[in-house]
Each structure stands twice: as structure tokens, then as C-alpha cells.
């Protein structure tokens, strides 16, 4: 890959990542619930999931033709159930003070896992990368340097786009804390998580 091709791939990924979707909404919700740091942890999980799909798209041809079509639907259902579980747990916390404590002290690992399972649960992502990458790199002759450049383009594009949603979620948290009861804010966040989980599990 040339620098020009790498830059073109980065711009393409950045534009596509800026389009609002389930992952962007999840980042905003986690930031609104626990703060900017929790949004960052969610972004990290999303990026790792995308990197896994990129590696599969580049090197996993035999796996794609054999076991991946069986494994991905199972991952999708598990991802949906996990996100619904997170939403239900957030909904069940009754005390506003407890909700705030839960949001702030909640494990960053759970935010990372939420981003990871959401991405891995999107079985269309692997086919997306299989369609996108051949326009920029010959998958039959890809080198480790090419793979590194593709992964770097993804990380920069994902960070550049998802950080915006993390910031907006964090700002929304501050503004809503002044104008609405914390219980309502957390209930809305819980509903969003449950809806996202349902969509991940049910949408083909």
C-alpha cells in the first residue's frame, strides 16, 4: 500500500464511522451514564472488535468458508443478551445516588466488553470489510506492512469519529444533570441499551 492509498482508506473509514449507528449511540450512552472515560473504554472495545474483523477479512479465508458462518450468529445473540442485561441492571437501580455511584464506579471493563460484543455481534461487519478492503489492497498479496497500515487507518478513523460521540455524551450528562432528575437520565440510558441489545440479537 502506498501512503496515498492508506490516506484514501483512512478518509473512507472516517466518513463511514461518522455516520450515526449503534456503536456511536452506545459510546454516547456510556459517556452520558458514567463520563468521558467510560466512553473511551467503549471505543477501545469497538476498535478491538473491528481489528478482529479486519484480520479475519485479510487472513481468515478458510475460516470464513467453514466455521465463521456458524460462530457469528451465536456471537450476535450473546452480544444482544449482554447489552440487554446491562440495561436491565441499570434500570433496576432505584436510588438516584446509587445510580450515580454505579455509573461512576462501574467497571471500565464492562464498557470495553460492551463495545467489543456490539461490534462482534454485527456479523455484517466482516462482509463489509471483505467488500471494502479489496478496493485499497490486494488481499491475495497483502503484506504485514499493509495489514499494519490498514489497522492504523482504522484506529485513527474510529478514534477521530467516536471521540466526538463520547464528548457529546459527556456534555449531555452534565446538562441533563442540571435540568432533569438523575433517575430519568439513567432510565433513558437503560432503555437505549436494551433497545440496542434487542436490535443486535434480532436484526439479521
Structure-block grid coordinates of residue 56: 479475519
Task: Note the pLDDT of residue 47.
Answer: 93
Q: What is the pLDDT of residue 45?
A: 92
pLDDT score for 22: 80
Q: How many domains does the chain have?
A: 1
C-alpha cell at 179: 435540568
What range does the domain containing 161 cover?
3-202
The whole-number pLDDT of residue 155 equals 92
**99 to 113, 168, 192: CA distances (angstroms):** 20, 20, 16
pTM score? 0.74
What are the per-10-residue average pLDDT scores of the chain (204 residues)? Answer: 84 82 84 85 92 84 58 69 74 56 62 86 73 78 87 90 88 65 66 75 64
Amino acid at each position: 500500500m502506498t501512503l496515498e492509498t492508506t490516506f484514501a482508506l483512512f478518509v473512507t473509514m472516517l466518513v463511514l464511522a461518522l455516520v450515526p449507528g449503534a456503536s456511536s449511540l452506545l459510546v454516547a450512552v456510556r459517556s452520558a451514564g458514567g463520563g468521558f472515560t467510560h466512553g473511551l473504554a467503549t471505543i477501545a472495545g469497538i476498535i478491538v472488535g473491528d481489528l478482529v474483523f479486519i484480520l479475519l477479512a485479510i487472513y481468515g479465508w478458510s475460516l470464513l468458508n467453514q466455521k465463521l458462518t456458524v460462530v457469528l450468529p451465536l456471537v450476535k445473540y450473546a452480544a444482544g443478551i449482554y447489552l440487554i442485561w446491562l440495561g436491565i441492571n441499570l434500570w433496576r437501580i432505584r436510588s438516584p445516588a446509587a445510580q450515580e455511584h454505579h455509573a461512576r464506579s462501574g467497571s471500565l471493563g464492562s464498557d470495553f466488553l460492551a463495545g467489543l460484543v456490539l461490534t462482534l455481534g454485527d456479523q455484517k461487519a466482516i462482509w463489509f470489510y471483505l467488500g471494502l478492503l479489496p478496493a485499497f489492497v490486494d488481499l491475495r498479496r497483502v503484506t504485514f506492512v499493509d495489514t499494519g497500515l490498514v489497522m492504523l487507518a482504522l484506529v485513527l478513523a474510529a478514534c477521530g469519529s467516536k471521540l466526538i460521540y463520547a464528548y457529546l455524551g459527556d456534555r449531555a450528562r452534565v446538562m441533563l444533570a442540571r435540568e432533569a432528575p438523575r433517575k430519568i437520565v439513567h432510565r433513558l440510558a437503560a432503555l437505549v441499551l436494551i433497545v440496542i441489545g434487542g436490535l443486535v440479537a434480532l436484526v439479521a
